[in-house]
Structures are given as C-alpha cells and as structure tokens.
C-alpha cells in the first residue's frame, strides 16, 4: 500500500480542526486512518490516546499506544534518534494506561462484592 504523506498531514490538520469544533467522532476517524497506515509522526497517536483516555476507553487508548510504540521502534531503528524520546514517552503512557485499567478493574470487582 502506497502511503500519501501529504494526505496524512492533511488528515492530522483536519482532525485538529474537528477536535476544536467538538466533533470528536470525525477527528477520531481521521486519526485512526493515519494510525492504520502507520503514520511516522506522533500527532495522531498522541491525540487519539488523549481522546480515548478522556472517554475512559482504555482498550482503545492502549491499542493506539501499542501501535505508536511499534512505529517509533521502527523510526529509532532507521537512525532517527529524535524518535527515541517519543518512544520512551509512549511506553510510559502505555504503562500508566495499563495500570489505570487494572485499578478500574479492581474497583469494579470490589463493588460487585
């Protein structure tokens, strides 16, 4: 599949506009397209992870962060050292999201007792 980087950049810009206007569903749709294509930049991963976190959609937040880590591991292997700090940041965010999911599961289990 051929990747059109200009189209991806345009999706990110439009996604930001949709976010600002409150149309999160459309923003998610555009960012998800870039994630599916393995966009080599942090914007759609950061934005989706934040949106999903705010919606308490931890499964999707974790999925997006895992994809970001895969992409940034590739970027770092390609000798793009600027990817390393972002890779560590995504890994830290993933750890926090997984921990939050565990805590929420514990709380839910405690309420059921």
| Per-residue pLDDT tens over the stretch 57-71 | 999 999 999 999 999
Q: Alpha-carbon distance 104 to 15, whole Å?
A: 29
* Structure confidence at residue 76 (pLDDT): 80
Query: What's this model's pTM, rounded to 2 decimal places?
Result: 0.89
**Please, which pLDDT band fits residue 2 given cuts at 50, 70 and 90?**
confident
Measured CA to CA, the distance from residue 41 to residue 82 in angstroms comes to 11
DSSP 36-68: HTT-SSSHHHHHHHHHHHHTT-HHHHHHHHHHH
Q: Does domain 5-112 have CATH number 3.40.50.740?
A: no
Q: Kindly report, residue by residue over 21-48, the tens digit of the pLDDT.
A: 999 999 999 999 999 999 999 999 999 9
């Amino acid at each position: 599949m051929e990747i059109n980087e200009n189209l991806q950049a345009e999706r990110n810009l439009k996604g930001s506009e949709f976010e600002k206007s409150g149309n999160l569903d459309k923003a998610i749709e555009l960012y998800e397209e870039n994630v599916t294509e393995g966009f080599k930049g942090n914007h759609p991963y950061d934005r989706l992870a934040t949106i999903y976190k705010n919606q308490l959609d931890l499964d999707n937040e974790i999925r997006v962060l895992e994809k970001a880590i895969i992409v940034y591991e590739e970027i770092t292997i390609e000798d793009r050292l600027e990817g390393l700090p972002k890779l560590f940041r995504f890994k830290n965010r993933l750890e926090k999201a997984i921990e939050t999911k565990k805590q929420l599961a514990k709380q839910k289990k405690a309420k059921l007792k």
